[in-house]
Each structure stands twice: as structure tokens, then as C-alpha cells.
């Protein structure tokens, strides 16, 4: 199976944007930005998390949030702040097309047992 790449634009909290070429990683739980990219758009660490690599190795990385725009759609999402040597990765699920406008679908709400009249 080959590698899949997608072009996107990431935007930080100040509105600074940067074009990024992401490798799509079907096993990723978070997208990842290399240091040059996350620093260029002004991201700062919000928390530190431990991640398991495919070979079982555990690594610690800082996490922040940014806006990612792709040809398929856009959204605000958490991102791993990569370190030297890390490649831009995109988890495949985050960007979904916008839902159609209109009223929300009806849903049933359980109101408890009924009492006979």
C-alpha cells in the first residue's frame, strides 16, 4: 500500500496561516505538526501527553490546538507539537463536510414508565 499525502492550511490563534503537506496516517489519533510549522503559526503547548507508536514505543509530546483547512473541509482540532525529525501527519477523521443546514432531526426521549389511566 502506498503513502497518501494531502495539502492543507493550518491557522494558529493569532490568525497566522501556513501551508502544510500532511502524510495521512490511518492509525493516528491526533494530527502532528513539525516544529517549523507549529512555531510559524504561534502555537504554544497546552498539555503534555504520552503516545504509543506502532512498534509499542512510548513517547511524550506537547499538544495544542489549531484550525486545519483541507480540500475536503475544515475544523478546529487538537494537534501534537512535533519535535525535530517529526513529519506532518493527518489523522483521517478530523475533517468532515459541513452538515446540511436545516432543523435538527427529531429524537426520542425516555420519560420513564407510563402509568395506566
| pLDDT given for residue 25 in this prediction | 87
What pLDDT shows up at residue 95? 44
Domain ranges for the chain: 5-90
pLDDT of residue 96: 46
**Residue whose C-alpha cell is 499538544:** 63
Helix (H, G, I), strand (E, B) or coil at 35: helix
pTM of the model: 0.76
pLDDT digit string (tens) for 55-95? 889 999 999 999 999 988 899 999 999 999 999 999 887 44
The candidate with the shortest Cα–Cα distance to 65, out of 74, 46, 75, 78, is 78
Predicted pLDDT at 33 = 96
| 14-54 confidence digits (pLDDT tens) | 999 999 999 998 888 899 999 999 999 999 999 999 988 88
- Helix, strand, coil shares, percent, the chain, to 5: 5, 40, 55
In the predicted model, is pLDDT for residue 8 greater than 50? yes
- CATH superfamily membership of 5-90: Acid Proteases (2.40.70.10)
Amino acid at each position: 500500500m502506498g503513502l497518501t499525502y494531502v495539502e492543507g492550511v493550518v491557522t494558529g490563534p493569532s490568525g497566522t496561516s501556513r501551508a502544510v503537506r500532511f502524510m495521512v496516517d490511518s492509525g493516528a489519533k491526533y494530527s502532528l505538526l513539525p516544529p517549523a510549522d507549529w512555531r510559524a503559526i504561534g502555537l504554544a503547548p497546552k498539555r503534555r501527553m504520552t503516545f504509543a507508536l506502532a512498534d509499542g514505543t512510548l513517547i511524550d509530546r506537547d499538544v495544542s490546538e489549531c484550525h486545519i483547512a483541507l480540500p475536503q473541509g475544515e475544523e478546529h482540532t487538537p494537534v501534537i507539537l512535533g519535535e525535530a525529525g517529526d513529519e506532518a501527519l493527518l489523522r483521517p477523521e478530523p475533517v468532515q463536510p459541513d452538515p446540511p443546514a436545516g432543523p435538527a432531526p427529531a429524537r426520542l426521549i425516555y420519560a420513564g414508565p407510563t402509568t395506566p389511566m
